[in-house]
Amino acid sequence: MNLLRSPYLSPEHLEWQDTLRRWVAREITPFVNDWDEAGEFPRDLYRRAAEIGLLGLGYPEEYGGIPADRFMSMIAGRELARCGAGGVPASLLSHTIGAPPILKAGSDELKARVLPGILAGEKISALAITEPNGGSDVASIRTKARREGDHYVVSGEKTFITSGMRADYYTVAVRTGGPGRDGISLMVIEVGSPGFARTPLKKMGWWASDTATLHFDEVRVPVANLIGEEGSAFRTIMLNFNDERISLATTACAFARVCVDEAAAYARERITFGKPLSSHQVIRHKLVDMAQRVEVTEAFIERLVWALEAGDNPVARICMAKNQATQTMAYCASEAVQIFGGAGYMRGAAVERIYREVKVNAIGGGAEEIMKDLASRQMGL
């Protein structure tokens, strides 16, 4: 599908887009079917992603990062979606939700100790907020951490954790104080800590992304691993959710575009009743309806990325953009499978895989109903 030139993207942005597009086509796309069936992808992919600058986007040079604006990250989300498999970028970029709290609120010592390995692709970072009894209701988390001298002792569980089985560093929300948001803290818990166990989870989609439940049984964590001050984590987590939601919106919309492109290409090649499927008006109308939704959603997201770069905090619109993008993804994935017919129901087709992955995008970072409620409260409705 021919794309309009974006007024937000500079030549440097477009150069990065071209570089990453070629890298994804070479390093990821040919292997996604095998990786999905295997339920994992090679750990070496982290190192290769670091070599082209993907993992270090937006991080200071002193930790091995590459200073970059949010449009560079937006482009990364779009280009990685071209592989047609959400599980690979979900785990490959799990540090984009696990590491920012460390960068923004961690001590200099903690940042210097943890971030360089993550940005070099040598260590894997994961975020652990969700619990078996609650997801986006951060103020009600139950995992507890009590202070004993130079350590915290952590007990509780986290679940649905992306990169949960292979991460080295976990940014974990714990309750160090009383009830409510003021009792919440963040700390880094390292793999291999005594009393820390992980259980793998099987999912509808994102097969190549390992997902786990984490178990903390009196795990001793050095006080030096605390991120920020005790009881100060709630705001950090909320700001982290903003970034996660705009990222989810970006990738959901990008997967919708993949569906448009795949369906259009198939419709041109598939012969029905003696002529290409695309020659049927009903199919062309389906494709235009799909493309229309993608174009509108992309424009909305780009405007929000611009607003964030300008220092605004458009929480309500970020929530609406996430819903808009996941609804667009759901519509386009369904229509693409319909255009493919039986071929779209077969494993290995990108549209089949994307169709299975619709719901994780709609649920992750806050379900659609939560996004609507948060947006309405932010808008004073």
Q: Looking at the annotation, which residues are catalytic?
A: 244
Six-digit token string for 175 = 């309750």
Q: Is 34 buried (19+), middle (13-18) or exposed (0-12) by CB count in 10 A?
A: exposed
Would you say the C-alpha torsion 323, 325, 326, 332 has a positive or negative sign? positive
- Report whether 370 contacts 318 (CB < 8 A): no
Q: Which residues contact 62 (CB under 8 A, 6 or more apart)?
A: none
Pairing of strands 275-276, 196-200: unpaired
Six-digit token string for 200 = 């793998």
- Report whether 209 contacts 91 (CB < 8 A): yes
Cα separation, 29 vs 346, in Å, equals 18
Six-digit token string for 171 = 């940014």
